[in-house]
Amino acid sequence: ATSGGDVTLGNVTSGRVDLSTSGGNMRTGDIHADVRLNTSGGDIELGNVGGEAGVNTSGGNITVKSVAKSLKANTSGGNINIGDVGGEAKVSTSGGDIQVRKVSGSATLSTSGGDIELGSASGIVKAHTSGGNLKLENITGSIDAATSGGDVAADLRPTGKGRSRLASSGGEITLSLPE
């Protein structure tokens, strides 16, 4: 833990990583374990994670290459860019865009002021933005998507008995159901 500086960590092959700083950026290499990163005022860049990941910043961007298990990522003021997640993903920002390449489980994505893009997910997808567009591709499962001020575009391959809902207060809705 540090009270006001950047934290840089190379590759970690075992154990658990738990880092926090009150005012700096955090950057790691690949971590073959569970990881928790917390900063009150900086960006977080995380390599490939072999376990679960929890990342939180009060004022910065979050970038994660991949997570083998579940991911929780939250920022109060920045963009979030995530690669592949092997389990469930819960991702939120109060003031930025969210981009996630692939989630192998359910995904909950929310932003108060930006766009959301999800490349692929299998499970229940919840995506909500107050002021942006939603682009949800290659979704196997169900979708609950809503925006107050943008368009919704979804590519859905429904399975099971899940219900889907797409809503926009001020934009277009496009739903594709590939065969």
pLDDT digits (tens, 9 = 90+) for 62-89: 999 999 999 999 999 899 999 999 999 9
Q: Are 174 and 155 in contact (CB under 8 A)?
A: no
Burial class (CB in 10 A: 0-12, 13-18, 19+), 122: middle
Question: How far apart (Å, rounded) are the C-alpha atoms in residues 159 and 179?
Answer: 12
Give residue-wise pLDDT tens across range 123-150.
999 999 998 999 999 999 999 999 998 9
Confidence of residue 60 (pLDDT cuts 50, 70, 90): very high
Q: For residue 158, what pLDDT band results from cuts at 50, 70 and 90?
A: confident
Say which DSSP state 119 is in.
-
Pairing of strands 134-147, 116-118: parallel
pLDDT, mean of residues 27-37: 95
Say if residue 1's pLDDT is above 60.
no
Q: Is the Cα dihedral 71, 116, 101, 7 positive or negative?
A: negative
Q: How many residues does the chain have?
A: 179
Q: Where does the pLDDT of residue 4 fall: very low under 50, low under 70, confident under 90, or very high at 90 and above? A: low
pLDDT, one tens digit per residue, over 161-179 is 788 999 999 899 999 987 7
Identify the pLDDT of residue 79. Answer: 97
Six token digits for residue 42: 């900086």
Distance CA 18, CA 76 (A): 20
pLDDT digits (tens, 9 = 90+) for 86-109: 999 999 999 899 999 999 999 999
Q: What is the pLDDT of residue 9?
A: 86
Q: How confident is the model at residue 14 (pLDDT cuts 50, 70, 90)?
A: confident
Tell me, yes or no, if the pTM score tops 0.85.
yes
In this prediction, residue 86 carries a pLDDT of 97
